[in-house]
Each structure stands twice: as C-alpha cells, then as structure tokens.
C-alpha cells in the first residue's frame, strides 16, 4: 500500500464530490488533531483570489489546524460575493471541527470570474467533515479532489529522523493542466508530524519553495490562486526545532526541499500539450541567486522551449536567453552541455562552439527527458530548474474558446 | 516614386551583395556628407555582439558620419576574431570615406557563433563605398540589404517643419523573421537633416524608442545585436535645436516617435509564424511607466497570445497577465475591451465580467488586426504596445534543426 497524508501522525483527511465539477471529486479537507505550526507561500500575482487573501490573514500567527480546498471555481475576480464565500468556507470548517476559524486555511482552483457557489461548497463541507479519516483511501481521495485538468494525482511521502525521532512527511500538489483556460493554478500542501517553531518553519518553507515550485515553468505566468502550505503538528514528539543549528534541522530541511522538488517535477511532467521534460542546471555560479535567475530565464524562453520540442541543439538561443536575465555574466567563460538524462554532450567551451557528432546529438534529443547544463565557471553556487517544451499541441490547447 | 533615405539632404547610401548570403543583398552603407549628431539605443542583453561593443564606443562623443551593416553573420560569440572583424569594417569604411574611424557605426545581423567573414565584408566595403548614391534606388537597396528572414523591406519617410525650415526624415528597419534560428535581431536606422545637439538627440531618441521599438514583442527576448541608430546632419539649415523648449522641437520629437512606431509596427506585422497583429492599449493609468509595464506583460504572455490565435475573448488571461507585471493595481476598478481595429466590445466593468454577444465577438476576433484596451481608471497616463499571436506555425518554424 502507498503511504500518504494519512500516515502522518494526527492527520486526517477526506476528498469529496460536491457537484461543482461534474464527474470528479472537488472538495478536499485536511485536518490535524492538534494545532500545528503553519507556513505558506502565496502567489506574487497582483490579482489575488479571495481564498488567498483570507489564508494570508489566517496564517499570520503561524498556526493552523485545517485546510479546505475546492476545485472547479477559483473564487478570483468575484468581488464581495467571493470574499463572503471564502469566509463561509472557513466558518463552516471551524464550526464542524469546533476550532477557531482563524485556524482554517482556504484555497481554491478553477475558473476565474465565475460566481462562487458558496452554498454547495459550504453544504459539502458540513457533510464531509464527519467523514475525515486516517485510512489510506482518504489520502488518495484528497490528492484527487484538488485536481482540475491534471491527468494524474501528485503525491509524495517520506520518513526520516530528527534527533532520533521518526518523522513522517506527506505532500500533494496540483499543476497547470492547460487545456482549460484560466486553470493554471499551482497548489501544494505538505503535512508533517515534526515539531518546529512557526518562524523557523516559514523561513525553511520559503527557502524550499524557491528551490522547487519557484523553479518550474510551463507558461511563465503565475496565477491568481497559487499557494503552497505546510502544517507541522509536532506529534512525532521531537524537541521543538527552534534554530537552524538544532540537531536534525538540516535533515528536516533537506527532506522538505526534496519533497517539494518531487511534487514540482510531477507538475511539470503533467503540463498539458508538452512533449518533453527538461532539467536545467547552472553550476559554478558566483551566487545561487544568479544561477536561479539564469535558469528561470532560459527555461521560460519560447525560443528555447520550441528548440527542445524540435530536438534542436540550439546553443545560441540558450546563451541569448541567459543574456536576457538582466544579470551580467561573461559568456566567454561559459561551458554548455546538452543531452538527455543519460548523457550530456558539450556544445560550447569557454563561449566557443565545439564540434560534436550531430547525428548522435539528434538521437539523444529524441528522449522525453532532456538536460541542459550551463557551467558559468565563475564561482561555486548552483541551481536546478525544470520546464516543458513548447509544442504545437500546447498552442492548440490554449487557443480553444472559453465561449 | 517613393521617397526614402536618399531624400534626406546630404545622405547617400548603397546596398550590395558580398556573398555572405547566397541570393540577397547583405551589405548596407549609409553616409552623411557632413558629420552628424548621432544617438543610439543598444540591446539590453548581457551577451553583446562585437559590432554593438564597437558602436557603443564610437558614439560616445555624440557624433557619427557613416553606418555600415552586414547581414548573414551576427558577429556574436565570435571572440577576438569577431572583435577584429568589427574593427576592420569601421577601418575600411573610414579609409574609403577619408573620415576618422570613430565616425563609423557598425551593426551586424545573422547567425550567432559563426566565424566572421572579415575579408569578404571588408572587400565588399572597399568595392561599394564608391557606389554611394543619392538616387532613389540606392535607398531601396539599403533597406533590403539589412534583411535576414524578413519577408519585406521596412521603410518610412516623412517631411515636416521645424521653425519654418523643411525637415526630411527617413528610416529603415529589420525585424524578427523567426524561421531561421538565432536571427531575431531588431535593427532600426533613421536619418534626418534637422540640426540638433547630440545630448538632446540622445534623450529624444531614448524616449521615442521606449514608446515604439521597446513596446513590440514577438518572442519576449532581446537579441545580442539589437540596435536603433539615428543620424541628424543639420543640412536642413534650421537653428540648432538645443532644448526641448526650442521652437519646432516638439514637432521633431513627435515625428521621430511616429517614424519609430511606424517601423516597429512593420516589424510586428512581419513576425514569421504569426497570424494576427494585436494592438494593446492601457489608458487612465497613474503613470506612463505603469501603463507600459502592464502592456508589455500582457503582450508577452504565451497564454494571451495563444488566446488571440484562437479568437478567444479570454479576459481572465489578460487580467492574470497584468497581475504578473509586478506592479500593484486595483482590478476591481478596471474596465477591459476586446475587439478589432473597427470595433471594441467591453468585457469587464470595474473588474466584473459583463454580458455580451459571444457570437458577434467571435466574428470580430476573426480579423487579422485585433485590439485590447485596458482602462485602469486610476489616472491620466496611457501607453500602447504591439504584438503578435502565438500560433502552431510559430512553434513549427522555431523547432526546426540548426543542424
């Protein structure tokens, strides 16, 4: 049996069908038996959905005990009616669970600008809170209930030790299946039974998001509803982690980062209309920030993405895209490698084009998992990022009528 | 007969075939009989072609007398050999014209990372400087000699008055025909016989570029070779323009801006693989800068561009893209209009979706010239921008092998 959210101590969940989406589960509830340290990272988009506004308020004290997510309606650009809807979701959860409504985080995903179906969702919450369960199938239900056009559920589970205590950590995510317009929301939720102070958790979550969810790209756009939330309820019994120097903190931090990278990569590999998964790596940069900016710019470039689709070892586009990142770097020092997961071939040495077997390269680029490695030869920092290619299918999917 | 560069007093030019490109003219020479005030704006890409580096140096004193442009080889990522090639171009021009080599601006467009064919180009310069002509056909030759994959030459000419003197202004440009990889260079050259001080010219050129060439997008990427250069040789005889308050300055400034917008729009309409020309307008913004940033973000969004291709009135994507511009705005105040050049239909009122005739809208969006208007209802500034759609053809063109 697959381990999931329900294998984290003190966590119960449920995923139900309320009717907002015609055929699939569309309401997810996650509950911790005890108040948990909570941290979250929200969309940087200036247009922010109502549930994001509410969750930002509720998480300020670094505590939460429940998360409710509806799929099918984004509750964005919905005005006062939407604001009341998000509030009603938190209130219904709080009443049914007998907790303060500030302990409830709310998230939504789906169509933008449609009236929010508050009554159906509140009814669904009241009906389904009583079904909260720690059985494995409940974990599968909740992973599926947050999906929109995703073609598979995205889950992860890991066990590790902190200072001699066994820690469980589980995560779910949804990504940007792009067939249906306005549904590019990225959501990620991770629960763990480690004991950690809210401030340290928030700092650790922010760092991990920067290395994972913030390093993937399908469209280059962030949505109105993006959110990554983490609950850590302390049921594992370890001494509360308060500082980065505490024993076991590094292990927690690494596992959180790996979990987020795992979920982020699953999101990229489910990008509708994409045919390839591309891992980008920048090594030997002066700073990690520089490496990340270069990777983001390269993986976001339409020209680079189209070249990946066409199996075209077009190093000129990659260097040109890197040049658009707005950070000075010396391309006459740069080495560049292209290839697949299995093998990389150097195409640039100190900024100069190298000879290589073009037919062999073409065969390599037929793989569905491609790799691009940029060696800046200027320092010791590195970063990775993940992206899709730009395909004719992508354009077809994204040009269909909303009407 | 069409007026062109040769109708500007004191300007001679020639466009020749040196053999770098197999079938088309590939060397352009523009010469002013007297030293001219010169201003230019160069690519923001961190990877900069050799001719750009040289021209930046040569234009520092605000003076120039000749421009030489080769097409077919970008002289980018070519190292010392390329640096020497660009120097040799300027030197050959200077010797043949008997002027200081610092009076020569150099530009290149074509493939990145190929050895620079210095000998052929220098030979071409020495052979063709003697053909410099003020006959109309020379103007056509030069407009064609800077093209790469462009499907038509981009030219403009305008006459206007400054303080009672007749001023001539002519321009040529090349854009991002994207069939062939690594050829996304944008070049623009404008010559005029107005008398204007270099500092004021540079300031005026920068402002006009910000409203024109900087407001178009095909890929969102800038290339290693982008350059817009202006020569003003004073042969019209007007009193030297020294200040924005001088009589006739406004008229010069407006005509320069209109010329650049004219050339910029021609570039967008020649974007290979695009099927629509889209004009974006943001009105009633607090500042022009805000309006421009929003327009750039919207017109660069792959999701918005795919919707334009699909004739999809998808306001959610437009608002979401605006939200990604990184500037706070209140979408509950925003009105949004979509349609064609002939008619706009309001789809959002104060951030709320409005009812409209969807079948009528679909018919409207079949036009090849579409319009998007965002009314921020927050101030009095406005901006326009121009972009293409994202088509399946674009992806096909841009995924072909370089190999």
pLDDT at residue number A45: 86
Q: What is the 3-state secondary structure (H, E, C) of chain B?
A: CCCCHHHCCCEEEEEECCCCCCCCCCEEEEEEEEEEEEEEEECCCCCCCHHHHHHHHHCCCCEEEEEEEEEEECCCCCHHHHHHHHHHHHHHHHHHHCCCHHHEEEEEEEECCCCCCHHHHHHHHHHHHHHCECCHHHHHHHHHHCCCCCCCCEEEEEEEEECCEEEEEEEEEECCCCCCCCCCCCEEEEEECCCECHHHHHHHHHHHHHHCHHHEECCCCCCCCCEEEEEECCCCCCCCECCCCCCCHHHHHHHHHHHHHHHHHHHHHCCCCCCCEEEEEEEEECCHHHHHHHHHHHHHCHHHHHHHHCCCCCHHHHHHHHHCCCCCCCHHHCEEEEEECCCEEEEEECCEECCCCHHHHHHHCCCCEEEEEEECCCCCEEEEEEEECCCHHHHHHCCCCCC
Domain CATH for A315: 3.10.20.340
**Do B185 and B263 sit in the same domain of this protein?**
yes
Asked if residue B402 belongs to a domain, the reply is no
- Yes or no, beta carbons of A395 and B309 under 8 Å apart: yes
Domain assignment of residue A218, yes or no: yes
Question: What local confidence, expressed as pLDDT, does residue A181 receive?
Answer: 40
Is A330 part of any domain? yes
pLDDT at residue A376 in the model: 97
- Provide the CATH number for the domain around residue A113: 3.60.70.12
Instruction: Identify the residue with better confidence: B182 or B319.
Output: B319
* Interchain proximity A303–B352, CB inside 8 Å: no
- The verdict on whether B149 is a catalytic residue reads no
* Residue numbers in A near B296 (CB within 8 A): none
The whole-number pLDDT of residue B94 equals 98
Interface test with B, best of A293, A294, A316, A349 (most B CBs within 10 A): A316
Q: Are residues B260 and B285 in the same domain?
A: no
**Which A-chain residues 268-327 have CB contacts (< 8 A) with chain B?**
301-303, 306-307, 309-317, 319-327
Q: Which residues of B touch A328 (CB under 8 A)?
A: 46
Min Cα–Cα distance to chain A from B280, Å: 18
Show which of residues 168-207 on chain A sit within 8 Å of chain B, judged by CB atoms: 178, 181-182, 184
Nearest to B219 among A303, A325, A326 (CB): A303
- Residue B365 banded pLDDT, cuts 50, 70, 90: very high
The answer to whether residues B231 and B286 belong to one domain is no
- What confidence score (pLDDT) does residue B400 get? 64
**How confident is the model at residue A182, as a pLDDT?**
46
Angstrom distances, CA of residue A95 to CA of A75, A291, B283: 22, 47, 46
Within this chain, do residues B251 and B129 fall inside the same structural domain, yes or no?
yes
CA angle centred on A312, ends A330 and B69, rounded to 5° = 55
Report yes or no on A57 lying in a domain: yes
Question: Is A362 an 8 Å CB contact of chain B?
Answer: yes
**Residue ending a domain, choose from A243, A269, A295:** A269
Rounded average pLDDT per 10-residue block, chain A, 403 residues: 92 93 90 98 91 98 98 92 97 98 96 92 97 94 91 94 97 72 76 98 97 82 88 98 97 98 92 87 97 93 88 87 89 94 94 91 92 97 93 77 48
Residues A181 and A251 in one domain: yes
Choosing from A245, A269, A293, the residue where a domain stops is A269
pLDDT of residue A180: 41
Task: Decide if B323 and A47 are in contact by the 8 Å CB cutoff.
Answer: yes
B22 and B128 part of one domain: yes
pLDDT band at B177 (very low <50, low <70, confident <90, very high): low
Indicate if A130 and A11 belong to the same structural domain.
yes
Residue B311: which domain range? 277-397
**Which of A43, A45, A46 is best to mutate for the B interface (most B CBs within 10 A)?**
A46
B:58-77 residues touching chain A, CB 8 A cutoff: 77
The last residue of one of the domains, among A220, A244, A269, is A269
B403 belongs to a structural domain: no
Q: Which residue has the higher pLDDT, A120 or B149?
A: A120
Give me the pLDDT at residue B1, please.
63
Query: Which residues 74-133 in chain B show a CB within 8 A of chain A?
Result: 77, 79, 111-113
Residue A403 lies in a domain: no
Give CA–CA dist B210/B199, Å, rounded. 17
Average pLDDT for B160-182: 82
Q: What pLDDT shows up at residue B15?
A: 96
Alpha helices, H only, A21-103 = 50-58, 79-97
Residues from chain A that touch B307, judged by Cβ atoms under 8 A, are 181, 398-399
pLDDT of residue A220: 63
Of A181, A219, A399, the CB nearest to B316: A181
**Pair B293, B379 in one domain:** yes
Would you call B395 and A399 a contact, using CB atoms and an 8 Å cutoff?
A: no
Which of chain B's residues have a Cβ under 8 Å away from the Cβ of A222? 324
Residues of A in contact with B317 (CB under 8 A): 181-182
Residue B151 and residue B34 share a domain: yes
Interface check A352 vs B, CB under 8 A: yes
Q: Does B192 share its domain with B295?
A: no
For B78, nearest residue in chain A (alpha carbons):
A352
**What are the tens digits of pLDDT across the range B290-338?**
999 999 999 988 889 988 998 888 888 899 889 988 899 998 999 999 9
Q: How many domains does chain A have?
A: 2
Which one of B112, B395, B403 has the shortest CB-CB distance to A392?
A: B395
Catalytic residues of A: 185
In a domain, A402, yes or no: no
- pLDDT tens, B187-219? 999 999 999 999 999 999 999 999 999 998 766
**pLDDT, tens digit (0-9, with 9 covering 90-100), for B92-131:** 999 999 999 999 999 999 888 889 999 999 999 999 999 9
- At residue A237, the 3 state secondary structure works out as coil
pTM of the model: 0.85
Whether A79 and B46 lie within 8 Å, measured CB to CB: no
Q: Name the residue among B224, B314, B321 with its Cβ closest to that of A320.
A: B224
Do A109 and A177 belong together in one domain? yes
Site of tokens 């202004």? B169
Q: Is residue B194 part of a domain?
A: yes
Do B264 and B284 sit in the same domain of this protein? no
């Amino acid at each position: 049996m697959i381990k999931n959210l329900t294998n984290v101590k003190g966590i119960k969940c449920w995923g139900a069908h309320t009717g907002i989406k015609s055929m699939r589960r569309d309401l997810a509830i996650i509950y911790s038996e005890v108040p948990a340290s909570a941290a979250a990272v929200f969309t940087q988009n200036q247009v922010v959905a109502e549930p994001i506004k509410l969750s930002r308020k509720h998480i300020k004290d670094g505590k939460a005990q429940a998360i409710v997510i509806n799929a099918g309606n984004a509750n964005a650009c919905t005005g006062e009616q939407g604001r009341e809807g998000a509030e009603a979701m938190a209130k219904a959860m709080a009443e049914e669970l007998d907790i303060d409504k500030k302990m409830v985080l709310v998230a939504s995903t789906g169509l933008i600008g449609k009236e929010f179906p508050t009554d159906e969702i509140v009814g669904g919450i009241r009906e389904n809170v009583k079904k909260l369960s720690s059985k494995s199938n409940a974990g599968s239900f909740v992973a599926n209930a947050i999906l929109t056009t995703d073609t598979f559920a995205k889950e992860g589970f890991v066990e590790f030790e902190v200072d001699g205590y066994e820690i469980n950590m589980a995560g779910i995510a949804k990504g940007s299946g792009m067939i249906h317009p306005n549904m590019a929301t990225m959501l990620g939720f991770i629960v763990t039974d480690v004991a950690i102070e809210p401030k340290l958790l928030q700092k650790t979550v922010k760092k991990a998001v920067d290395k994972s969810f913030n390093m993937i790209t399908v469209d280059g756009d962030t949505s109105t509803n993006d959110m990554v939330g983490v609950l850590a309820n302390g049921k594992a019994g370890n001494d509360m982690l308060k500082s980065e120097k505490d024993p076991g903190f590094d292990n927690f931090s690494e596992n959180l980062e790996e979990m987020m990278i795992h979920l982020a990569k699953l999101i990229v590999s489910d990008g509708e209309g994409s045919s390839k998964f591309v891992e980008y790596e920048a090594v030997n940069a002066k700073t990690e920030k520089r490496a990340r900016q270069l990777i983001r710019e390269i993986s976001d470039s339409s020209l680079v993405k189209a070249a990946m689709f066409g199996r075209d070892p077009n190093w000129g586009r990659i260097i040109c895209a890197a040049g658009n990142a707005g950070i000075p770097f010396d391309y006459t020092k740069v080495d560049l490698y292209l290839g697949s997961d299995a093998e990389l071939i150097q195409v640039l040495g100190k900024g100069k084009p190298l000879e290589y077997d073009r037919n062999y390269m073409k065969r390599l680029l037929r793989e569905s998992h491609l790799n691009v490695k940029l060696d800046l030869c200027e320092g010791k920092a590195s970063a990775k990022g993940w992206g899709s290619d730009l395909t004719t299918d992508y354009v077809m999917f994204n040009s269909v009528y909303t009407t």
